[in-house]
Amino acid sequence: MSVKNVEMVVAPRQPHFVGDGFRVHNFIPGAYRLDMERMSPFIMLDYNSKFYFPPTDQPRGVGVHPHRGFETVTIAYKGSVAHHDSSGGGGIISEGDVQWMTAASGVLHKEYHEENFSKAGGDFQMVQLWVNLPAKDKMSTPKYQAIKHQAIQTVQLPDNAGKVEVIAGNYAGVEGAASTFTPVNLFNARLNRGGVATFNFPAAYNTALLLIEGSIVINDDETVDTDHLALFSNEGEEFSIRATEDALVLILSGEPIQEPIAAHGPFVMNTQQEIVQAIQDFNAGKFGFLEE
């Protein structure tokens, strides 16, 4: 089995606010070389690194906005979010939970800090991924997967190294809780200091990791610090992670969708004509209704 080496390590960019509730570092598609085609099927990654929000009676967040042509995946590490969409999906995403929303043919969506979290204040830390859909599924019926932390299958690593939570895909024969349209692997590796975990993905899969907490060394060679992203080359299959202190690592790997990408704001389709149609459909009210 040949080694999958690190192509580059990317530092977090200057943060910006999405709405007034999400202070994010954008890695995909904004960082150097991390464009939608290079990272397919992952077409957006916003990381709200750990940030303290003071108490408020008015929950912060993002108001009603549309999506079409892809899936949004929100992973909660600290804090909690209330979500609603026009297809009837919604609920509260708390620490350790994952929200997997398939916008597909189109939904209206809003997300805010959950009311009790807002009133108490506290540390807030989340990742939001956009996962592209193949052309044949872009206009399918929207759906929603609310994945509670306790429903995520876990692989205990030998020698008290830690554990791997399998959100999607397969690790060591354990299947992830989320259903996907194309092959996607999404794991949280929670490693104890000195613990080692090994991962294996096809060479052609676009693969990266984001260090949420701690520090690690990849392949006994490349050091990665907190809040940094490591991109792997599309050669080799296997790599190892060793935690130099207790660490939490988000690992993502997926088969690229070899189709044209046309993106405009919250719409990701295959052609500019489809983007124009999405805007027309949104303006015509075809994405349903969602109260502000």
In the chain (292 residues long), the average pLDDT of successive 10-residue segments reads: 95 95 95 90 98 96 94 97 84 94 93 96 98 98 94 97 98 97 98 98 98 98 97 98 98 98 96 97 88 69
- The pLDDT value given to residue 292: 63
- The pLDDT value given to residue 14: 94
| Neighbouring C-alpha atoms within 13 Å toward the C-beta of 47 | 25
**Measured torsion, CA atoms of residues 58, 61, 64, 67, in degrees rounded to the nearest 10:** -170
- Report the distance separating Cα 269 and Cα 282, nearest Å: 14
Q: Where are the domains of the chain?
A: 6-254
- The pLDDT value given to residue 91: 86
Query: Please, are residues 186 and 195 in contact by the beta-carbon 8 Å criterion?
Result: no
Tens digits of per-residue pLDDT, 188-222?
A: 999 999 999 999 999 999 999 999 999 999 999 99
Question: Which residue matches tokens 């969602």?
Answer: 290
CATH of domain 6-254: 2.60.120.10
Q: Which residues of 246-272 are buried (b: 16+ CB within 10 A; e: fewer)?
A: ebbbbbbbbbbbeeebbbeebbbbbee
- Report the distance separating Cα 155 and Cα 216, nearest Å: 19
Q: What is the mean pLDDT of the chain?
A: 95
- Whether the bond into 54 is cis, omega within 30 of 0: no
pTM, full prediction? 0.96
Tens digits of per-residue pLDDT, 120-148?
A: 999 999 999 999 999 999 999 999 999 99
